[in-house]
Structure formats: C-alpha cells, structure tokens
Amino acid sequence: MEGTATGMSGFISALTGANGLSASTFYQVLTDMVPWLLIAIPVALGFYFIRKSIKGLGNKGKLRV
C-alpha cells in the first residue's frame, strides 16, 4: 500500500477525501435523523419518569413525582 497515509493524517484524509465527509453530507445525515430524535427523546424521558415513579411507589407506598 504505497502512497497511503497512515495514522491520524490518513484518517483525516479519508474523511475529507473525494467521497468522504463534507459539510453538506454531514448536515444531510443530521437532518434525516432529526425526526427520529424528536420522537425518541420524549419516549425515553417518559419511560424514565414512569420507572422512577413506579420505583417510588413500591418503596414508599406512595407516588413520587
């Protein structure tokens, strides 16, 4: 593999090469992920608070919010 950069310089050149990561491809992937994140974050927080309230109900005999 002559002419191939190794180490950190090789990694950076692979990311920013002809088919690598650019600002437009990064933001395209990011904008594709936003709807999933807008759904996943509230669902995860809901599960967290439900588990926390059920755990409090079991330990204290009352619901803590």
Domain residue ranges in the chain: 23-65
Q: Is the pTM higher than 0.85?
A: no
Contact 16, 9 (CB under 8 A): no
What pLDDT, on a 0 to 100 scale, did the predictor assign at position 35?
A: 93
What pLDDT, on a 0 to 100 scale, did the predictor assign at position 57?
A: 62
Q: From the centroid of its chain, how far is CA 25?
A: 17
Instruction: Go through the chain and tell me how many residues it has.
Output: 65
What pLDDT, on a 0 to 100 scale, did the predictor assign at position 42?
A: 96
| Average pLDDT, 10 consecutive residues per value, the chain (65 residues) | 66 73 81 93 94 72 55
